[in-house]
Amino acid sequence: MLRVMEMKIMKTTLIYSLLFILCSCGSSSSHQQVAANLERNGEYELIASRHLINDIQAQNNDGTVNVLVEIPTGTNQKWEVDHFSGHLKWEFENGVPRVVKYLGYPGNYGFIPQTSLPKDLGGDGDPLDILVLGQAVSRGTILKTKIIGVLRMLDRAEQDDKLIAVRKGTPFFEINDLKQLNKEFPGITKIIKTWFQNYKGKNKIKILGTRGKKSAARILKQAMIQFKPYTPH
């Protein structure tokens, strides 16, 4: 009985920890921690020693999936990997660096290297977007993850699904699918849906629901097959 109570306390603590992260809008400073293998080139670019899309495999021999983190948990600077140079850049909008005007991201947000899902298969032509549950890591970190499902959504009437994953070294890695996540950590899926539905403003994102790991695995397989390396202009 005591063990059961301890597990419930641990789960509750994790959920409140995630909520605490969500309530932090993140620093707008450009001097956030970055992965050790990246070098700064001014305030708006991080130079990589290899192409962060072309030169990192999508999957590992142990079945885990690699994720390149562009936006750490709880932050709101909108960084993206440039398709052609392979470096990380702070996205500009209307001549200024873009900062998401909402609560910080509810997980480490990034993409799966060596993937590309064209529009005729339900994607946007870019590497697969993915949200990894857990505490923040440095921008540019490569995480070994396990995919547990997908959030299906429309962004301005265009499909823009987000895979959901868990990573090694966290309590979430014991989770194998969204059904188990909802049972073991109630409320997290709702937090994710709410965040993505509202982070761009009112009525711009439509949430279509979630699907399990089998659907997510099919999307990943298609995107790996469709991938073609980016080349410089």
What pLDDT score does 37 carry?
Answer: 87
Structure token pair of residue 165: 């994953």
- Per run of 10 residues, the mean pLDDT along the chain (length 233 residues) is 46 46 42 76 96 97 96 97 96 96 97 89 84 96 97 88 93 95 96 97 94 95 94 76
153 vs 120: CA distance, rounded Å: 16
Structure token pair of residue 200: 């761009």
What pLDDT score does 117 carry?
Answer: 81
What pLDDT score does 211 carry?
Answer: 96
Can you state the percent helix, strand and coil of the chain, rounding each to 5? 25, 30, 45
Domains and CATH numbers, the chain: 2-24+33-226 (3.90.80.10)
Tokens 């009985």 sit on residue: 1
The two beta strands, 65-71 and 142-155, are antiparallel
Task: Give the CB-side neighbour count of residue 46, counting CA atoms within 13 A.
Answer: 24
What pLDDT score does 24 carry?
Answer: 43
pTM of the model: 0.87
Cα–chain center distance at 103: 15
What pLDDT score does 33 carry?
Answer: 67
Element (H, E) at 217: helix 213-226
What pLDDT score does 99 carry?
Answer: 97
What pLDDT score does 148 carry?
Answer: 98
146 vs 177: CA distance, rounded Å: 9
